[in-house]
């Protein structure tokens, strides 16, 4: 199951990031490419945190690991999905709680060490509408769900997970991001872990029993990059 949005200019993104630019360098036909013709080649200019993307520790913390230093063993992991989409439907500011985690573990057992934990909110169904993703009120405050400190501390310290991800543009809920604060993203990355933002199709995968593959290019000293993320789900064709 593909968990990745197709990216292009104009997609939802963090407010401080410029839009993507795409140029055709070479085209099949003469006159359509800026450098020539005979084949198809494009030039892409985009920020590293574009579309479904990976944030390595160095994205927030100087001296910690860059994208090329994330190992292959961290890219294929047991996949855990924490489903809070019904609570989010009733409260767009909802943040995941330990009750949500306890409920998951009562059904499936302890969250496996070394796993990837994704937060299902169904917020990705608002893609690619930037305004719907931001959900800003008349006072300029964004309202979208996010992680909580108590849950992230439990996952990374007690369960020793490898990475986490979510469907929104930020780890932190919109109420916090509206103040230009990012404490939860800082927490994850400062622990030398990575995360994936803007996941999709989490409603199409089981809450346990699948594997996730987080694949991305390997730029030297990379601060982040678009990723191709997918789940391998037994029994789903």
Looking at residue 71, the DSSP 8-state letter turns out to be: -
Edge-to-edge strand ranges of the sheet holding 21-27: 36-37, 21-27, 41-45
Neighbours of 82 (CB within 10 A): 22
Instruction: Give the 3-state DSSP-derived string for 24-59, with helices as H, strands as E and coil as C.
Output: EEEECCCCCCCCEECCCEEEEECCCCCCCEEECHHH
Helix (H) or strand (E) holding 108: helix 98-108
Per-residue pLDDT of the chain (237 residues; tens, 9 = 90+): 999 999 999 999 998 999 999 999 999 999 999 999 999 999 999 999 999 999 999 999 999 999 999 999 999 999 999 999 999 999 999 999 999 999 999 999 999 999 999 999 999 999 999 999 999 999 999 999 999 999 999 999 999 999 999 999 999 999 999 999 999 999 999 999 999 999 999 999 999 999 999 999 999 999 999 999 999 998 766
Q: What's this model's pTM, rounded to 2 decimal places?
A: 0.96
């Amino acid at each position: 199951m593909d968990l990745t949005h197709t990216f292009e200019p104009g997609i939802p993104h963090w407010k401080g990031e410029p839009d993507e630019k795409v140029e055709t360098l070479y085209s099949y036909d003469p006159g359509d490419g800026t450098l020539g013709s005979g084949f198809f080649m494009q030039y892409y200019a985009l920020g590293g945190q574009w579309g479904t993307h990976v944030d390595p520790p160095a994205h927030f913390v100087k001296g910690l690991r860059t994208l090329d230093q994330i190992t292959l063993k961290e890219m294929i992991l047991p996949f855990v999905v924490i489903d809070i989409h019904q609570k989010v439907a009733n409260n767009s500011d909802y943040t995941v709680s330990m009750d949500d985690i306890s409920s998951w573990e009562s059904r499936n057992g302890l969250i496996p060490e070394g796993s990837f934990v994704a937060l299902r909110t169904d917020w990705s169904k608002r893609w690619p509408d930037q305004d719907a993703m931001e959900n800003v009120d008349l006072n300029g405050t964004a309202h979208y769900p996010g992680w909580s400190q108590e849950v992230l501390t439990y996952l990374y310290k007690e369960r020793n997970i490898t990475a986490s991800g979510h469907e929104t543009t930020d780890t932190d809920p919109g109420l916090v991001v509206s103040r230009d604060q990012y404490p939860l993203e800082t927490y994850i990355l400062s622990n030398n872990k990575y995360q994936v933002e803007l996941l999709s199709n989490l409603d199409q995968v089981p809450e346990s029993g699948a594997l996730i593959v987080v694949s991305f290019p390997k730029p030297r000293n990379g601060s982040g990059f678009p990723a191709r993320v997918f789940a391998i789900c037994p029994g789903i064709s």
